[in-house]
Amino acid sequence: MPAFELVDICQRAGTTVERYRLHNGLVLLYLPEPRAPVFTYQTWFRVGASDERPGKTGLAHLFEHLMFKGTVQTPEGEYDRRIEEMGGRTNAATWLDWTFYHADLPAGNLGWLAALEADRLANLAVTPEAFESERKVVMNERRETVEDEPVALMSETLWARAIQTHPYSRPTIGWMADIEGLTLADCQAFRAKWYAPDNAVLVVAGDVPRDALLGTVAEAYGDLVPGHAVRAPTTREAPRTSPLHDTLTLPVTSERLMMAWQSPAATDADHPTLEVLNELLFEGDSGRLHRALITEGELASSHFAFVPEFRDPGLYEVGVELRPGKTAAQAEAVVLDSLARVAAEGISEAELEKARNRLETRFWRNQQTVQQRAQGLGHWEVTAGDFQHVFSVADRLAAVTREDV
């Protein structure tokens, strides 16, 4: 039976993570947590919406749905049934840089789960009828979550307009015309290219003995053949020298504003600085723009901001819902004025300390469960190429200075 090679062991913040690699390229991250009799089993693939070809948008997301359609040995529904029968839960998600699947179960269920996961990776069997049914499900999902939702439609338009060359301009769910044109053959080719052991990262965390884990996973995945997928090189978006403006006419009762600026990649030295800036602008009752837009300025009823954590540079996105009678132009002026003041006058030490403390507290709060810790490891392994980045997040935030902001 093939055996795993130990690549490295990381001991940080009271946590030990072991990284292994199988002969076919499969990476396994092991986080032992025997304090509770549960474990999480996550499979991350280094493929997302940004890896799709033009005209084939939505393929990564649609294929995520198809992974639950059964195999030659396992009928459709059996995977979910067995997990639910054991009191577990399962789900999946697709984003621009990755796709991941997870199952959370009581301890003692590793053997059959690993066999099922390896089986659907190697032997997925999707009928034309199942494909067509799921394609219609995704089309309805797009109608409900994007086309009938003004904020989602605005965000999709903004990313498509603001990003000219990078594939981040394409929506993860796909353009409707592309979804309508996808075929079962497209999905089979997508699977053959991307769903292989050397493009996957397994994260197993919880009450699972090391020797049992290594032997079980090696037996389940050892015969799988690597795919040698190579990501197409991406073109870095050129710095913008002038603003773009667009207007959508939608059936809403009050105006909405969405703005974006080019943002750094997740591993860029400027990324934690952007997080701090966003925190002191929008988060909490003391946020500068929260006060200017809502509590003092009385222009808006709500706002949001999104700092992406992507492999490549993306967009820092801000959204504002105006009160009746107020205009998007008024809100835009307030946002730009607040940013100009930060650039010209700086921020106080108290603002910086509060923003850093809130961000660090939120980070550690999101590391409380074994599922959350495993997800952090998987995310950074596929996004940054090294799970150990998760252990530097708090330190990077603490190092941000007023001058940086």
Q: Please give the sequence-ordered ranges of beta strands (E in DSSP) within 27-85, or none if there are none.
A: 27-32, 38-45
SS3 string of 318-338? EEEEECCCCCHHHHHHHHHHH
Residues whose CB falls within 8 Å of the CB of residue 104, separated by 6 or more in sequence, listed in order = 38, 39, 40, 41, 88, 89, 90, 371
Neighbours of 79 (CB within 10 A): 22
Tell me which residue of 92, 108, 100, 95 sits closest to 39, measured CA to CA: 108
**Distance spanning both ends of the chain, measured CA to CA:** 54
Q: Please give the biggest Cα pair distance in the chain.
A: 71
The residues assigned a catalytic role are 64
Report the distance separating Cα 223 and Cα 292, nearest Å.
60
396/391 Cα distance (integer angstroms): 10
Sheet holding 38-45, edge to edge: 5-12, 15-21, 27-32, 200-206, 38-45, 99-106, 89-94
